[in-house]
Amino acid sequence: MYTKVGFVLLFLLFTCQTGKLELVNDLPKSLKEVSGMETSVDGESLYMINDSGNKPEIFVLDLKGKLKEILDVDAKNIDWEELTTDKEGHLYIGDFGNNMNDRDNLVIYKVHPEKKTKKGELEVEKIWFKFPDQKEFPPKRKHRVFDCESFIYLNNHFYLFTKSRAPKKHGLTTLYKVPATPGHHVAEKIESFMTCEPLACWITAADISEDGKTIALLTTDSVWLFENFEGDNFFSGDHKQILFEHESQKESLCFIDERTIYIADEQNKTQGRNLYKFRLN
């Protein structure tokens, strides 16, 4: 039986391992490469996806990280990187991972958990887009700023936050706007923002609070918050970085209330495949 001292030591060990993050649970082994996460409209479930090399599936979990259901999607998983949703319950899958900046087939899939084909897969509508300022596939290394792992849905539009792979510009992210309607589109470039320089500054996930007042962008060791912005130029207002004091391959983030976010990381040899909770101050 543990003594009070033992419990204190366990608490200190747990805090040291997760920094400011509260560990909610280990994720199922099938989500070792979790790349996107979103809450359901009723707030009672989490949706998650894996990235490239995995099956085209959406995992449905409860808020404690326990698997409830797996939904097959009638689409390919070239490089699924993000999930977002609208108020009608549609899920949007961002198949726009672009590590080498050589893709000319960037697409967002629109699905609904209750709309399935005769085979039982989720029916898909496709929203194709391209970046207006990318002219080469791939461009030179110093211009490889067209990878993307993050987007949100707002007012019938998607807002994408790119991930830079250009040397000494890893924290550069550019905000683009794309209509949330099936078809082919050219994204509208809005503004760019520089977080910092190292690889840990990469933007790997995004979400917007239910009241539309806070944008959260995720990196491997922190969250960047954007508030008091004008219109849809989210970089025009106030911003701040909150460090987690914990570094891992974090690629998923979603709000569960106005000031609380869930975060998930991928599994590597020593850590990861966890669901965390973090309270925004």
Spatial distance between the Cα atoms of 170 and 79, rounded to a whole number of angstroms: 20
136-163 per-position pLDDT tens digit: 999 999 999 999 999 999 999 999 999 9
Spatial distance between the Cα atoms of 83 and 86, rounded to a whole number of angstroms: 11
Spatial distance between the Cα atoms of 157 and 232, rounded to a whole number of angstroms: 10
Q: Residue 7: is its pLDDT beyond 80?
A: no
**Structural domains in the chain plus CATH codes:** 21-279 (2.120.10.30)
What are the φ/ψ torsions at residue 204 (nearest 5 degrees)?
A: -115, -10
> What's the pLDDT score for residue 233?
98
Spatial distance between the Cα atoms of 127 and 107, rounded to a whole number of angstroms: 6
Query: Angle 268-272-278 (CA atoms, 0-180°, nearest 5)?
Result: 150
Q: Residue 190: is its pLDDT beyond 80?
A: yes
In the chain, DSSP finds a helix count (H) and a strand count (E) of: 1, 21
Give alpha helix (H) positions in the chain.
4-18
Regarding beta strands 183-186 and 214-218, do their DSSP bridges make them parallel or antiparallel, or are they unpaired? unpaired
Q: Name the DSSP letter for residue 233.
A: B
> What's the pLDDT score for residue 4?
47
pLDDT band for position 17 (cuts 50, 70, 90): confident
128-137 per-position pLDDT tens digit: 999 999 999 9
Cβ atoms of 180 and 189 closer than 8 Å: no
> What's the pLDDT score for residue 2?
44
Minimum mean pLDDT range among 7-11, 43-47, 217-221: 7-11
Spatial distance between the Cα atoms of 241 and 227, rounded to a whole number of angstroms: 12
54-111 per-position pLDDT tens digit: 999 999 999 999 999 999 999 999 999 999 999 999 999 999 999 999 999 999 999 9
CB neighbour list of residue 92: distance below 8 Å, 6 or more residues apart: 83, 84, 85, 86, 108, 109, 110, 111, 127, 151, 153, 158, 180
Long-range contacts at 172-178 (CB < 8 A, ≥ 24 apart): 172/145, 173/203, 173/217, 174/145, 175/233, 175/234, 175/235, 176/131, 177/232, 178/108, 178/127, 178/129
CB neighbour list of residue 16: distance below 8 Å, 6 or more residues apart: none
